[in-house]
Amino acid sequence: MAKTPSLEFVHHPHPSPLPADKRAELLKNPGFGRVFSDHMVTIRYHESKGWHDARIEPRAPIAMDPAAAVLHYAQEIFEGLKAYRTNGGATLFRPEQNARRFQKSAERLAMPVLPEELFLESVDRLVDIDRAWIPDGDGSLYLRPFMIANETFLGVKPSSDYLYAVIASSVGAYFKTDAPAVSVWVSNEYTRAAPGGTGAAKCGGNYAASLLAQAEATRHGCDQVVFLDAVEQRWVEELGGMNIFFVFDDGSMMTPPLGGTILPGITRDSLLVLARDKGITVREERYSIDQWRTDAHSGRLREAFACGTAAVVTPIGTVRSKDGEFKIGNGGSGSRTEELKTSLVAIQRGRAADTHHWIHKVF
Ligand code: PLP
Ligand code: COI
């Protein structure tokens, strides 16, 4: 990759950040994605100038022309990663993987590729300036880098103009449920991604396309939707916003293979590594909904869990579809799920040795 000319970030600190007592009130129970920090990063791109005008400034509405390309053709990508409070400092977990996935998403959406160093610098700077917004305890500061097409033009073509931005949200657990495990709804009517489509990219359009299926899941009393493949409507792919793993009675594990229709999750990849470190056999193989049901009934399948930055590792207890419902194990969590979650979180929170060099220190 070509070396990037470094960009000077102009700092405009917030003249009146939220007072500490009000912030503390918000951080007590932030939920997910509703509490935002004081600042944001923006960097502009124009095809004639490249990346320019990097800023850290007060978080504020973005003024844009109503003909901006993103509003019409959804040329938009994003990332999600968390900053953790660790030993008096702050760390990120494998942020270079988010930077690289952002580059791949950009390529797929015909957008300019943001250099990895600029991605890392942008998230580091935001965490640094908004460090007071990282919750204590189990919470974290969820960072949302994103890029939108900003050319004022109604023709269908890649935009000449883009805005990259990073915002930060103080978050707790993604799922509101107190249940020991979540329930999922298998969508038979809607698919998330087809071969040749944008399933492996983290673009807003994938999530827009998932909303009706997610609403259907909610209507059936489920926390998340499970998507099957678009060709045969048979193979389990992933959830609306997380990857999926299965644990069998012989101790082995399985997750669907990445094939262009599944988001290559960084949590997924980390769990594959951690499981193999523990000597667990993990296969990346296709698994059909029928086999899933059969194995749950026979007891061959012991556990299933969802994983992602927002969800971390969340056990799946109940699977519902138009054909009825089945439980996995006792419908709660399982020991392998808990073991992997504990190992992952211990590394992320600086409580276990970082043998794979996954931890990036911000300060
Ligand atoms: N799959 C989808 C559709 C997602 O939105 C996410 C969340 O980012 C994931 C999987 C998990 O990816 P990661 O572990 O990188 O957060
Ligand atoms: C994430 O885990 O970062 C996601 O983007 C998923 C979404 C459900 C918040």
Do the bridges between strand 50-58 and strand 39-46 make them parallel or antiparallel, or are there none, so unpaired?
Answer: antiparallel
Evaluate: CB of 80 within 6 angstroms of ligand 2. yes
Return the pLDDT at 87.
Answer: 86
Q: Six-digit token pair at 11?
A: 């700092």
In this structure, which residue's CA is closest to atom 3 in ligand 2?
A: 80
Cβ-Cβ contacts under 8 Å for 126 (sequence gap 6 or more)? 37, 39, 40, 41, 56, 143, 166, 167, 168
Report d(CA 178, CA 21) in Å as an integer.
28
Q: Six-digit token pair at 96?
A: 């270079």
Return the pLDDT at 3.
Answer: 46
Strands (E), 108-155: 140-149
Report d(CA 356, CA 275) in Å as an integer.
13
Closest Cα to residue 328, out of 210, 236, 265? 236
Query: How far lies 6's CA from each of 53, 115, 117, 179, 192, in Å?
Result: 11, 10, 8, 48, 38
Question: 317: exposed, middle or buried (C-beta count within 10 Å: 0-12, 13-18, 19+)?
Answer: buried
Evaluate: CB of 241 within 6 angstroms of ligand 2. yes
Which residues form the pocket of ligand 1, taking CB atoms under 6 Å from any ligand atom? 80, 238, 241-243, 263, 265-268, 308-309
**Ligand 2 center from residue 181 Cα (angstroms):** 18
Return the pLDDT at 6.
Answer: 77
Return the pLDDT at 4.
Answer: 52
Q: pLDDT tens for residues 206-252? A: 999 999 999 999 999 999 999 999 999 999 999 999 999 999 999 99
> What's the pTM value of the predicted model, to 2 decimals?
0.97
Torsion on CA atoms 222, 226, 232, 235, rounded to nearest 10: -120
Return the pLDDT at 1.
Answer: 40
**Ligand 1 center from residue 135 Cα (angstroms):** 22
Atom of ligand 2 nearest to the CA of 80: 3
Return the pLDDT at 5.
Answer: 57
Evaluate: CB of 309 within 6 angstroms of ligand 2. yes
Q: Which ligand is nearest to the CA of 245?
A: 1
Query: Alpha-carbon Rg of the chain, whole angstroms?
Result: 21
Q: What is the secondary structure of 51-97 as a DSSP string? A: EEEEEEEE--PPP--TTBHHHHH--EEE--EEEEEETTEEEEESHHH
End-to-end CA distance of the chain: 27
* Contact (Cβ atoms closer than 8 angstroms) between residue 314 and residue 242: yes
In this structure, which residue's CA is closest to atom 4 in ligand 1?
A: 241
Q: What is the mean pLDDT of each run of 10 residues along the chain (363 residues)?
A: 70 97 97 98 98 98 98 98 95 98 98 98 98 96 98 98 98 91 97 97 98 98 98 97 98 97 98 98 98 98 98 97 96 96 98 98 98
Report d(CA 160, CA 112) in Å as an integer.
9
Domains (ranges, CATH) in the chain? 10-171 (3.30.470.10), 182-348 (3.20.10.10)
